[in-house]
Amino acid sequence: MFRIEKSVRTILFLFIIVAVVIIIFIPIGIIYAVNNGNPYTQWLMNQHVPDHLSEQGYKDRDLIESTYTEPKYLINHDYYQGQYKVTFKDEPDVFYYYGLSKEGKHVKQFCEKDVKIHSNEVSYDITEETKHSEAGCVLWQENR
């Protein structure tokens, strides 16, 4: 009968475990990232954007919504792919987007904003100045 040494069996067992983990967990991680965005980017945005909004003088009571979103198209390469969507109580039909620069981790408001026309339908983007527009906003469609 063919006998395998104990050390060879241990190495073979470890190899099989590593192969199974790679085959199962890497596709799961890729599917998660495609559907939900990069978890590291989401964590960064959740750390920096609320602080930026506070520095601008906004409080939680001024906001209807402030949440991380993952656009399904490429944005400005100087910024992480994820965005932070903010809706203000005094301007509920305008959705503002904030980005985080890859270098320096600076929060900037994107000039493009979504405007809601009907109850659940976002109809178009605008770049005009609105009530909560910040000076020095960045176009998300440049440098793609």
pLDDT tens track for 88-135: 999 988 999 999 999 999 999 999 998 887 766 666 778 888 999 999
Tokens 């005094």 locate to: 90
Provide the residue count of the chain: 144
Cβ density class 16-55: b for 16+ within 10 Å, e for less:
eeeeeeeeeeeeeeeeeeeeebeeebbebbeebbbebbee
pLDDT tens track for 64-73: 999 998 887 8
Query: Which residue spans within the chain are E strands per DSSP?
Result: 63-69, 83-88, 91-100, 107-109, 113-118, 121-126
Q: What is the DSSP string of 22-50?
A: HHHHHHHHHHHHHHH--HHHHHHHHHHHH
Q: Are 48 and 31 in contact (CB under 8 A)?
A: no
Cα(113)–Cα(111) distance, rounded to whole angstroms? 6
Region 39-60: what's the mean pLDDT?
A: 92
Q: Are 131 and 90 in contact (CB under 8 A)?
A: yes
pTM of the model: 0.76
